[in-house]
Chains A and B, each alone.
Chain A
Amino acid sequence: MSEYRTTVAGVPARDDEAARLSRREFLKRVIASGAVASAATYIYGGLGGCARRGGAVPGGVERLISINVNGQIRRVDVLPQETLAMTLRYKLGLTGTKLGCDRGECGACTVMLDDVTHNSCSVLTHSVRGRKVVTVEGVGGPNGELHRVQQAFIDELSPQCGFCTPGQVVSAVALLKRNPKPTREEARAALAGNLCRCGAYDNYLNGVMRAAAQGSAT
Chain B
Amino acid sequence: MSYKLLGKDFTPHDVYAKVTGQAKYAEDFRADGMVFCRMLTSPMPHARVKSIDVTEALKLPGVVGVLLPSEVTPVPAPNPPILTDEPQYVGAPILAVAAVDETTAQDAIDLVRLDLEPLPFVVDPLDSLRPDGPNGRADGNNVGSQFAKPRTLKWTAADFEQAGEGKLPLGKSAEDWSYGDVEAGFAKSKLVYDESFVTASNSHHSMEPRTTFAYWQNGKCFVHGSTQSHSFVVPGLAGFIGIKPTELIYIAEFCGGGFGSKGSAYPTMAIPALLSKKLGKPVMMRVSRAEEYYIGHARNGFQGRVKLGFGADGRLLAADMYIVQDGGAHNGFWDYRNAADALSVVYQPEAMRWRGVPVYTNSPTRSAQRGPGENQIACILEPLMDRAARDLKLDRLEIRRVNAPQTGSKVGNDRRPVTSCYLRDALEKGAARFKWDERRARSGQAKGSKVTGLGIGQAYHPAGFNGFDGLVRITPDGKLHIHTGVGNLGTFSHSGTARIAAEVLKYDWENCIVERGDSRKHLPWNIGQFGSNTSFTMARTNYVAAMDALTKMREIAAKDLGGKPDDYEIDGARIFAKTHPGRHLSYAQVAQRAVQLGGRYSGAELPKDINPMTRESATALAGSGLIGVAKDNLPVGGETAAFACCFVEVEVDLETGQHRVIDILNVGDCGTVIHPMGLTTQLKGGSVQGLSIGTLEHIILDPQNGIPGHIGLYQAKPATYLDVPPQLNADWVDKPDATSPLGTKGIGEPPLGAAASAVICAISDALGGYVFNRTPVKLDMVLNVATKRPMSHGPLQVNTQ
Residues of A at the B interface (CB closer than 8 Å) are: 16-17, 19-20, 23-24, 26-28, 30-31, 34, 36-40, 42-48, 50-57, 89, 94-103, 105-106, 108, 135-137, 140, 146, 150, 153-154, 156-166, 169, 184-185, 188-189, 191-192, 194-203, 205
Contact = CB atoms under 8 A, between A and B. Distances in A.
Interface in B677-708: 677-678, 680-681, 684-689, 692, 702, 705, 707
Contact of A199 (B9, B61, B684): B684
B726 A163 contact: no
Contacts, number: 253
Contacts of A99: 27, 286
Given A16-B289, A99-B27, A101-B713, 12 more contacts: A40-B111, A40-B113, A45-B290, A53-B101, A55-B62, A95-B24, A108-B207, A161-B255, A161-B257, A165-B19, A189-B721, A192-B721
Interface string B477-513: 0000000000011111000000000000000000000
Given A17-B712, A146-B20, A27 B289 contact: no
Contacts of A198: 207, 257, 490, 681, 685
Given A163-B208, A195-B207, A39 B492 contact: no
Contacts of B288: 16, 45-47, 102
Contacts of A136: 20-21
Nearest to B36: A50
Contacts of A96: 20-22
Interface of B: 9, 11-12, 14-25, 27-28, 36, 38, 40, 43-44, 50, 61-62, 90, 100-104, 106-107, 109-116, 118, 204-209, 254-259, 286, 288-290, 488-492, 677-678, 680-681, 684-689, 692, 702, 705, 707, 711-714, 718-722, 724, 726-728
A165 B114 contact: no
Contact of B19 (A36, A101, A146, A196): A146
Residue picked from A16, A108, A150, A197, most chain B C-beta under 10 Å:
A197
Contacts of B692: 199
Contacts of B713: 101, 105-106, 195
A38 B56 CA distance: 12
12 contacts: A37-B116, A98-B256, A101-B712, A136-B20, A140-B20, A150-B20, A159-B18, A160-B491, A165-B21, A197-B206, A199-B689, A201-B721
A102 B719 CA distance: 19
B11 A154 contact: yes
Contacts of A43: 110
Contact of B712 (A16, A95, A150): A16
B107 A191 contact: no
A30 B44 contact: yes
B725 to A, nearest CB: 8
Interface of A is mostly: loop
Contacts of B488: 161
A50 B102 contact: yes
Residue picked from A20, A153, A189, most chain B C-beta under 10 Å:
A20
A153 B28 contact: no
Contacts of A28: 705
Contacts of A108: 207
B7 to A, nearest CB: 15
Contacts of A50: 36, 101-103
Contacts of A169: 19, 21
A157 B492 contact: yes
Given A53-B101, A105-B714, A184-B726, A162 B290 contact: no
Given A31-B118, A50-B101, A52-B103, A164 B207 contact: yes
B490 A150 contact: no
A64 B754 CA distance: 55
A24 B256 CA distance: 32
Nearest to B113: A38
Contacts of A24: 702, 705, 707
